Every structure is written in C-alpha cells, then in structure tokens.
A and B are shown apart, each in its own frame.
Chain A
Amino acid sequence: MRNIMGISVYGRAMSNWKPKLNCGLNLASMLPMIIFPNNRLSKTNALVIGFIACLLASMSLTVRAAQPSLDQLLTTEDARHLFSRTGFGYSLAQHDQAGGLTRREAIDLVMQGFATNPSVAMPAWVTADAPFHWARRDMNRTQRVRFERDRDQELAQLRQWWISEMLQSPSPQTERLVLFWHDLMATSYHGVNYQSLAMAKQNAMFRQHGLGNFGDLLKALIRDPAMLNYLDNENSRKQSPNENLARELLERFSMGEGNYTEKTVKEAARALTGYSVSHDYNLSFRFETWKHDTGDKELFGQTGKFNGDDLVDLILKQPASAEFIAGRFWHLLVSDSQPTQADIAPLVEELRSNQFDLATLYQSILMSEAFWQTDNRIARVKSPIILQVAAARSLEYPKLRWQTIPVTSASIGMSIFAPPNVSGWHEGTAYTTAGRLKQRNNVIDMLLGLKASGDASNASMVANEMQSLMGDSMMKASGITLTMAAEDYHGPVKYRVELRRGDDALWESADRIWMHGHDTLQFGRVNDMSNMPWQHTSVTPPIEHIERADKVRVYFLNDTAGRNGDRNLYVRGVSLKDNYFVGSSGTQQSTCVPKNSADAGNLYCNGYVDIPINIVALSENINTSNPYQVGNVRVRWGNVGKGSGKNRSRLELTLETVKAPDQQWRNIGIAMYSNSAEHADLRIDTYSCWPDCFVSTDECLWLDEIDGVTQTWVFPLDDEHQCHYQSLDDKERRLVDAIWMSLPEFIDHAAIAEKDRRYAKVLALWKQRIQTQQGNLNESRYAKANNRFVFNSALLRKVQPPAIVQAPEVLITAMDQLQSQLKLRGISVFDLLLPGVNVSAFPQLDASLQQPLVQQLRAYSHHAVSQLY
C-alpha cells in the first residue's frame, strides 16, 4: 500500500499502528496496480483513480449508514487537515503513513499516538535536585544575579527542549495538546520567582493528565507548584484567603465568567487555603493543613467542610463546566469562531455521561461532521509556535534553525513558558494584527530560507548556509566545550578561544563564526535572558595544553551596533573533564565591562573574558574523613511567643546538602520546639527531607488528621515520645544523634549565614536554651554514638554542567533534497503546506507550480493562507 504513495525514506511509522483494511480500501489500493502493472501511471493519477474506485466501492457496499463520511478513504486534503489540526503541519512521513487509510482509521491513528512521556528527555536538571530558592534572601547582589542567570539558562534550555520535542516528536498531537493546556491554564516563568523547575513539572503534569479525566487534571492543577506560586495560593491561609487561584479556576480553567457568584469565589478560596508548595520537599505540592480553613463552606448551594478536591467535584456538577471544556476543545480542533449549540450539545451530554473523559471528547470532535467540513478547513490562525513548527515539520530543512524558534516566536507575540497573563495568549486574529503581520512574514521567510544571506533566489547558496548550521551543536567527549549564545547584527559573531597559563598563551583556535545567533536586525534584541539561544561548541586543543592551562579566554572580535540592532557574544561557561566553570566566575576585559561581576561573560564590546579552570581547587576539601557532613545551615523561620506564651519558641533550620554514610540529602529541614527553659525537642516531618529521612511508620508517630498523610517524628531531650526514636532503624537513629549533638554549631552557623539578621533574637534564645541543656544532651541517648556533623562548604560548590539539548534529527537539509523527495512522491510542496484545501482553490499558488520551488515558497509565504489552517 505504501508503495503507491512513493517509497518512504523514513521507516518511522508509529509502531502501534496496525492498519485494518476494509474491502473497499483493498480494492481501491490494488486496482491501479492491477490495471497498470508497469506503473506507467503517475502516482497522482493512481491516487485519483484509487480514490474514485474507493468511492464506487463504498457506495455499492454502504456498510455504515450512520456516518458514511468516516469510512471514506482519506484524500490528501483530508489527511492534511487532520494532521495539521491535531499536530504541527503535515510532514512527508505523515503523508507516507496516511495513504490508503479511511478517515476513521486515521482518527484511530491520531488517538493511539498520544503519549504521556516526551520522546526527547527533558534537560537533566529537571530530574536533579531543585536549587535552594530560599537562599536568595541571604544573597548579595552578585550572588543573586548569578542565581537568577542560572535559572534563566535552565528556562532557555527548557524552551529549546520543548521546541526540539515539537519538531521531532512522533506524537505531535501530544505537543499540541500540552501547548493548548499551557495556554488555557496559563502560568508564566516571570511570575514564579525563577522557579524553572516548577515550569518543567507543570509541562510534565499536562502530559500526564492532558487527555485523561478533566477532574483529575483540575485536581492536579490545584496541586501544581508553578500554578500555586503564580496565582499566589502558596501563602493563602484561613485568616486571609487569597482569591486569585479560586477566581481563575472558576473563570478561566473550568466554568467561564458569569457562571458563579462573587460569594462562590470567596468560598472557593477558603476551600483552597493551605494548598501550597514544600520547598524542603524539592518544590513539591504540600497540603499545609495548619493554613487550611476546615470550616463549612457554601458552594453552589451545598454546604460542607469542602477542600480543593471537593471544590473540583462540585464544579464538574455544574452545567457550565462541560460546556466550557467542550467549547475549548472545539476551538482547539475545529475553528476560532464560536461553535453552535448543535455542535456542543452532544459533546456536553457525552462528557457528563462518561465523567469528563477528555480522550472521548477529543475523538468525538474529530468524528463530528463539523470537523471535516470544508468551511472549517481554513478556520484557525496559526499561533507563532504553530506557524514555525508546522513549516519546519513539513519541509524538514527549516529545523536547522531550531535554536532561535523560541525567541523569534516571542518577537511575534508568543513566548512559551511566559504567556502575558493568566488568560494566556490572545488567539485568532490577534496574532495577525498589523503590528505583527509583517514580522510573521519575516519569521517565516527566514525559516524557509527565503531571506538568508541577502540573495534568496540562489537556492544552493541558501542550502549551503543551512548546511553550515549543522554539526556545531554536538558536545565532544575530549577537549573543551563552550556554552555560548549570540545576538547577530548584519552578520554573525566572530570569536576565538585561547588556553592560557598565567600570562602565557598556550594555544589558540582559528577565528570562528558562531552560527546560532539571533538576528537582532530582523527581530530585535533578545531582552529576556531566559530566551537566549544557548548552544555548545567544542574546541580540541592538544591534551598537554589542557592539562597545563589555568584559564580559558574567549575573544569577541567583531562587535558592531546600530540603532536597529546589536551584535553581542554571551559566554556562559566552559566544560572540561566533567567539570563546569561558569563564565560569571571570570573577569572581562573589554571597552564595556559590565557593572556586575555576575555578568562577566556578557561581551557587548570587543574584548575577552577569562574563565579560570582550576580543577584542583574544586576538589579540595571534599574528602574529609568525618562521615557526617553538611554544606550549610540556614535559619528558615523562627518566632518567640508573647505574653503568657513567652517561653514558647519555634526555630526552623535547614541543613543544606547533607552527607551521612552511604546517603546524601539535598536538604534536611528540622524544627526545634520548646515551651520552657527546661524543654526542647527536635521535629522532622514527612516533608522535611529530600529525599526522605525515615521510612518508618508507627502508631505513636504524630499523624496529621486533616491530610491523613503527614507524619511527624518528635525527638525530645527528656523521656517523652520514646517510641518515635524506637521506630527508627540504626542508620536513621545515628542521623538524629548527629543532628542533636551538632545543634549548638548549627545555631552559630545559621546566625552567621543570615544576612538580614531577622531571626537574631530567636537564635540567641535557642543558643541559650541549648547551653542550659548541654548537660542533659551529653547524658542523653543521642550522645552515645558520638556522631557530629562537620561543615564542608565544598559540598555546595559543585556546579552541574549545563544540560545539552540535542539538535533535532534533520532528514532533509536542503531545498533541493526536498525537491527530489516531493518528486519521488509526485506531489507538490503545497500538498504539504496548505490547509485541508486543494491548491487549485488558490490560482496564484497553482500558477507558481510552473516555477522553481523557491518561487513556490515565496508565493506561499506572501499569501494570507500561509497564516491559517
């Protein structure tokens, strides 16, 4: 069957696709082969004849009377419509795959192709421990800028990862769906205090729940760390509930405006109090029950002690919620314009009967007549991401420019992971306003290679330029890898790398051109560091020079700027031998040295940055012999009671990067509690340690009655609560011993580390209390093993090298290669690019078929239909 459509160069058909041919289809596909065994017939004609034969066959059979249209053989236009609506454009691989399917089979193919995991792994930092966001409070400006730049870089990588996934995923429908949820349940990196990890987790959450049960998705959403931060629910407590999340949940995520009262918002906010994030538990959801309002709430005419899950369940019982989500999916799949009641009613009914199964909703829309109608085949404006990713997936070679897709997309109004506000991006013709239309044309012309190097008519030159974009992004095993980004202006950045020892240059590279820059002349400056197109490049100096060198110097050689742009080089860091050295640790020599040393490496003028590569300094001090080590101790919170409670005090400390025999923790959070000068206990709960400190459960442990999950282990100095300690195994007990015995040092250390001395008073009180109790402590069970922590700041110093986002595989790297692939299949470029309407509907495009491919592409990019699908 696939032979009729041309020989596939891909062989990447979805593995779970097992074509089920019906009688009519078999006949249809075999017929031309039987009639024209020598294959003298052109492939297009074969398809037409096959199609007619199929129609005849299905007319004579009329098996499925209810919806005969679904058993029609998919035309090329149908296939384009289905795949570009559910995914990004229509690729050669999809074209090869779709031949001979009926509409119904093609829908099955789409439905079976959804995935909950991405095909390209997320950057490595996503699965590593979260950075200590709480530490920002105690940082000086340079440290803070460095911390923020690191998060910005992670986000830049996350953007590149997602674009890469969109470009090469075998399941574009998944990516479109995740993008849809990201837009509908909008959260911006710029509104979550640099928590790049939370943004990554949210993306994974949408994959997990995006096509499952809508109620489950909403319940995951009110537990999503990024959303909880973005809509200010983290600190929402019963004394002062914050209404933001409650309001948006009702208005934008589940029901729509006008379907609830202000009173409902207030009551919903109470139900959501305590839905927060545990920083100690690696930035995960935590139901902070002490902040939760356990009282009665009145929601939609019902009264009860409702929590967030109850709220979601009640929302889904309201008629508006099914209409809301059916309408949003309808927009996703059918049209930017409003659906009619007749379009929505059956979907709503089905949603209610199947408890909001989103896969069924999705499938039902694809199976509806409305979906296939000609009117709805040009019915949506391409968002900036779809505009670019669709073109790249259809034509392949534009994938070579993948690194700058996030930032060019931002320049035309869609910065992924940073929607403008909680209502997401303004879709539809808001993307094609006068202010943006010209820029959209520029973006697409550049991506298609119609603008490169000035002379666009020279296709081979374009091809050469694109070709040179390949290969540079691979990290080489030996040698030195640089992580850099650039802004271009009238041409790319020229740079040179040197290895130095003291004042001597040991080795220098040739002058090199950085091919991954963002064109500021066309698209403006990058502005947002989290949109920098970071890439890696390697240099391979002789090994003896690498071993002798004490710094890497990177020169920026061809600075230029004008009123409409600027050429700059950003050197983020150097990796060698498993070590990573950040550019901001270096020193810059140029005519415009940045004011903040954390910005060393941002070369805005000709000059260089020296990055020290002292491997010895990194490793020293790491191997102390003491089995219990801690990187730092920081006070997180503390207070002293007033009035009659003035003897009461609570002090919360976090041990940052903790080592014990065979174990390591990102952090251990401890709470010290005391109600008199003679009393003190140490408390650790389920959310204190990452990873978990203890595995024991015992009936005597304190269990939180509201969430029914959180256990607290209490370790007093006196004889109370013996069984908490007893419930631990030996290793766990030794950890508790070491913490108790090191408390005096912890308190001293925390007092030094705390920059604003907000907790000076409570720390002083605790210092005194522990001193008073020192005798008891030395007599206690905690003293027996004689374990103590030592401080080892080297534990904190290890910097992870930046993640590498692999370039997408590009199967066709030039326009002329595309030409021959099209020829092989007997199709034109419009059979890939147009929405589900035949090219004959557009006379200018049709006429351009007589011209070279580059002219066809130009005709397309200037035609309004290129903006739509």
Chain B
Amino acid sequence: MNRRNMLMQLLGFGATGLSLNNNNLLADQLQVNGQRLILLELSGANDGLNTLVPHSDEQYYSLRPNIGLPKSAIIMLDDDFALHQSLKPLMQLWEQTELAWVHGLGYPKPNRSHFKSIALWETGGDGKADGERGWLTHDIEHAYGQRLSDAHGISLVDDMAVFDSPDGRWLSMKSASKLLQTDYKPTDSEGFTNPLLKRVEQQSHELESMLASLSSKLDKVADVKKMPATGLGRQLSEVIRLIRAGLDTPVYRIRIGGFDTHENQLGRHARRLSELSEAVAATRLTLKQDNEWDNTLIISYSEFGRRAAENKSGGTDHGTAAPHFLAGGALNGGLYGRSPDLSNLIDGDPAHTLDYRSLYEQVLSGWFNIGENQFSGYQSHELNTLFKQV
C-alpha cells in the first residue's frame, strides 16, 4: 500500500472494494496507486520485424534476402524469436523478467501516413474513426482529479500536443531548468470578473503553483549521472531528475526519432536501436538504485510497422502491424500475443493480431488501476498477466 492509500484509509475511506462504476471523483481517486508511465515514441515508424526477429520463420528470410538479420546478428529469446543485437543492453531486463514484448499491434483499416497514423496511436483512433484527445488524458485526469500538486503529465518533447487538456495539468519542457529560468507572475484581477476570466486566472495560478512546487522540489536534486549523452539519454535523465525530486506526475512523454528507414536501413536502424536500448538500460539501473523502478513503466509506440518485404534500396517502406515493448520493475516479462503470419500478408503487410488499444486498456486497468476506462471494450485475455500482482 502506498502513502496515498494509507492516508485515505486514515481518513476513513476504504482503499479497496469501491464500485468501479461510481463516478464520484473521490471514489475514483482511491484507485490510483502512484505508478508512473513513460510514453516512448519511436518516431518515423520502427521496423518491427528487424527489432523482434522471427528467426525460425523461413518466410522472414525470403521476404528480406538482403536486410534479414542472420543468426549471428541477433540475440535469441526463444526458439522462434530474437532481438536485434543492438538491443543487447535490454537483455539485463529480459533476464530479470522486466521486459515484455507484445506481438502484432495494429488497428483496423490501417493508415500509412506518418502524420495521420501517429495521431491515431496517440488518440486511440483507427482507420474508421479518429480520436480527439490523448488516449489516456481523460482517464488519468479523472482518476487523479485536481489532487496532484504537480502535473498529470510532462512532455520532454515539443508540446504536450493531443495529451494537453484544459481540465488537467499537462506541462511540456525541454528541461525543468529552462522552464524555470524566467519568472511567471500572473496578476490577480480585481474589479470586473466573469466566468472565463476567472477560469483563465485559475489556470494561471495552477501554473504558478506547479512552477513553485517544481522549483522547490528541484532545488534539492543533484544532476543525474551515468546516463548516455544522446538525445534520448538526455530526455530520460531529465525524467529521472523529476522523479528524484519527488514529482507527483503519472505520465511522461519522450521521443526518439530516425526510424523512417526507407533506404540502407541496416546501419541506421542499428544505431537507433543502440541509442534506445542504452538509454533504457541506464534508466533502469538508476531508477533501481533510487528504488523507483518498480513504480515505473516504459512503453514504446510508433506510427506503424514497416513492410514485410524489403524494398530495392535496402530499406523498408511504410507498413502496418508491429511489436512493441514494455519495460519496468513490476512486469511479468516475456512475449505476449501472437506474431502475425508472414505467409499470409495483406497488401504486403502483416495483419495485426492484437488491437493496440488492448494494450492501452491493460496499462490503464492493470497499471493505473483504472478498471473502467475508455478502452474497456478492447480488454484482451492475452495481456492480463502483463503486470505482477501486488
């Protein structure tokens, strides 16, 4: 039981056994368990087949005579699947069952535009209907209410974009120090008021208190050491710094780019995966020392996978379904779901075997304890052992 639930019990609320259908905000808040999620976007569309390699499938090698990874360039996970050798640092996680892969994630009527498909993944839409808001925005806001002293989510890339919402606190920053480098002092208006003016003033005070809290918490935190000096490494060290500061924030958002490997992909893809795995492995080591790894879950996502067959330029074009990974101390690591059948492609692409929203459902219900969430309809038994029971 964490501090928050303890407090609620002391206040006379039971920590368990509340009706999930109860829309009372306070009741829902009791379900929240202090876990955090790091959303990791592999921007450009990661080639799933050369990441989690189906090495026992002859079809894989016949589709990819030049860029199919030979047995010498992969790390065996089991009789059928292996990791790209650049993911070697992740093997420490795999051996401790802290790494899970989910096969064949996708959605019906796939869209092959980077822009459109990432918008779908981020909002929980599919080729039939767009989503509007970040896929977890509403559920997280509802579960945490206004109780957070810091932010519902912090993005270390650009803008919070679709995850932002006026009902919650979603911050974006290059780094906390940059965000705090200039003062923010809203004026309290006297005299004329109206509801909208009040609301914006309220938003500005929320920001002010968030910045104050951030600033005081960060005061005591030392710089994070031993993280790779890469783009992703820097984002993750910023996340670790915020975690160390004791920030009350359930969602972080980070990104690694360069996965749009249309040409000569072998070297390029390997470099991206190295940066990825080194940063994740270093994060795990640091958070383990900090005793925060069990509270942390990293999940990867990307626009889509890439074509099953290689193209004539030694690369791969836009495809559909792909595997994604989860990393964290509370995982039952392993392989989940079914790998798409490579001898049964649809327009040259592997057919998805699991709707990606089933993974979202499991993250919301299994990780955040939000049993009733907007993806409840996608619940899949294939994922219900993903997290260790506490």
- Residues of chain A having any CB pair with chain B under 8 Å: 141, 188, 190-191, 232, 243, 247, 336-337, 375, 378-381, 411, 413, 420-423, 426, 428-430, 432-438, 441-442, 524, 527, 563-564, 756, 837, 840-844, 859, 862-865, 867-868
* A426: B residues at CB distance < 8 A: 132, 164-166
B172: Cβ under 8 A from any A Cβ: yes
Complex: A423 Cα to B129 Cα, angstroms: 11
Is B203 in contact with A432, judged by CB distance below 8 angstroms? yes
B313: Cβ under 8 A from any A Cβ: yes
* A413: B residues at CB distance < 8 A: 159, 164
Is B160 in contact with A435, judged by CB distance below 8 angstroms? yes
CB of B99, distance to nearest CB on chain A (Å): 29
Is A859 in contact with B187, judged by CB distance below 8 angstroms? yes
* A867: B residues at CB distance < 8 A: 200
- B184-200 vs A, CB cutoff 8 Å, 1 = contact: the mask equals 11110111101111011
* B169: A residues at CB distance < 8 A: 433-435
A563-B234, A859-B187 known; A433 vs B165 contact (CB < 8 Å): yes
Size of B's binding interface in residues, CB under 8 A: 58
CB of B336, distance to nearest CB on chain A (Å): 30
Complex: A428 Cα to B190 Cα, angstroms: 22
Complex: A491 Cα to B16 Cα, angstroms: 57
Between A and B, 27 residue pairs with Cβ closer than 8 Å are A188-B115, A191-B116, A380-B196, A421-B130, A426-B132, A426-B165, A429-B196, A432-B200, A433-B203, A434-B151, A434-B203, A435-B172, A436-B164, A437-B184, A437-B203, A438-B179, A524-B174, A527-B158, A563-B174, A563-B175, A841-B192, A842-B189, A844-B190, A862-B187, A864-B186, A864-B189, A865-B197
CB of A493, distance to nearest CB on chain B (Å): 20
The contact of A842 among B132, B174, B175, B192, by CB within 8 Å, is B192
Indicate the member of B159, B161, B165 with the most A CB atoms within 10 Å: B159
A411-B159, A435-B172 known; A843 vs B115 contact (CB < 8 Å): no
CB of B163, distance to nearest CB on chain A (Å): 9
How many A-B pairs with Cβ below 8 Å? Answer: 139
Complex: A379 Cα to B161 Cα, angstroms: 24
A-B complex: 3 closest residue pairs judged by Cβ atoms: A841-B192, A429-B166, A190-B115
* A842: B residues at CB distance < 8 A: 189-192
* B175: A residues at CB distance < 8 A: 563-564
* B128: A residues at CB distance < 8 A: 243, 247
Is A375 in contact with B194, judged by CB distance below 8 angstroms? yes
CB closest residue in chain A, given B163: A435
Indicate the member of B151, B166, B171, B207 with the most A CB atoms within 10 Å: B166
Question: Which residues in chain B, 192-220, are within 8 Å of chain A measured between CB atoms?
Answer: 192, 194-197, 199-201, 203-204, 206-207, 210-211
Is A336 in contact with B115, judged by CB distance below 8 angstroms? no
Is A864 in contact with B197, judged by CB distance below 8 angstroms? yes
* A247: B residues at CB distance < 8 A: 128-129
Sample of 14 more A-B contacts, CB < 8 Å, known A141-B262, A381-B200? A190-B115, A336-B196, A413-B164, A429-B196, A433-B168, A434-B171, A434-B203, A436-B164, A438-B179, A842-B189, A844-B187, A864-B187, A864-B200, A865-B189
B58: Cβ under 8 A from any A Cβ: no
CB of B345, distance to nearest CB on chain A (Å): 18
The contact of A141 among B174, B197, B263, by CB within 8 Å, is B263
B123: Cβ under 8 A from any A Cβ: yes
* A421: B residues at CB distance < 8 A: 119, 123, 130, 132, 162
- Residues of chain B having any CB pair with chain A under 8 Å: 111, 113-116, 119, 123, 128-130, 132, 151, 155, 158-162, 164-166, 168-172, 174-175, 177-179, 182, 184-187, 189-192, 194-197, 199-201, 203-204, 206-207, 210-211, 234, 262-263, 312-313
* A423: B residues at CB distance < 8 A: 130, 132
Complex: A842 Cα to B312 Cα, angstroms: 68
* A428: B residues at CB distance < 8 A: 166
A190-B115, A524-B174, A563-B175 known; A429 vs B203 contact (CB < 8 Å): yes
The contact of A429 among B116, B159, B170, B199, by CB within 8 Å, is B199
* B129: A residues at CB distance < 8 A: 247
A434-B207, A435-B172, A862-B186 known; A868 vs B132 contact (CB < 8 Å): no
Complex: A432 Cα to B164 Cα, angstroms: 10
CB closest residue in chain B, given A437: B207
Is A564 in contact with B164, judged by CB distance below 8 angstroms? no
The contact of B189 among A191, A430, A844, by CB within 8 Å, is A844
Complex: A437 Cα to B187 Cα, angstroms: 13
The contact of A435 among B113, B159, B196, B234, by CB within 8 Å, is B159
* A837: B residues at CB distance < 8 A: 192
CB of A730, distance to nearest CB on chain B (Å): 46
Is B203 in contact with A378, judged by CB distance below 8 angstroms? no
A422-B130, A564-B175 known; A438 vs B197 contact (CB < 8 Å): no
Is B186 in contact with A564, judged by CB distance below 8 angstroms? no
CB of A289, distance to nearest CB on chain B (Å): 25
CB of A427, distance to nearest CB on chain B (Å): 10
Complex: A420 Cα to B165 Cα, angstroms: 14
CB closest residue in chain B, given A428: B166
A437-B207, A864-B204 known; A378 vs B196 contact (CB < 8 Å): yes
Is B132 in contact with A863, judged by CB distance below 8 angstroms? no
* B203: A residues at CB distance < 8 A: 429, 432-434, 437
The contact of A378 among B161, B191, B194, B204, by CB within 8 Å, is B194
Complex: A424 Cα to B379 Cα, angstroms: 30
* A435: B residues at CB distance < 8 A: 155, 159-160, 164, 169-172
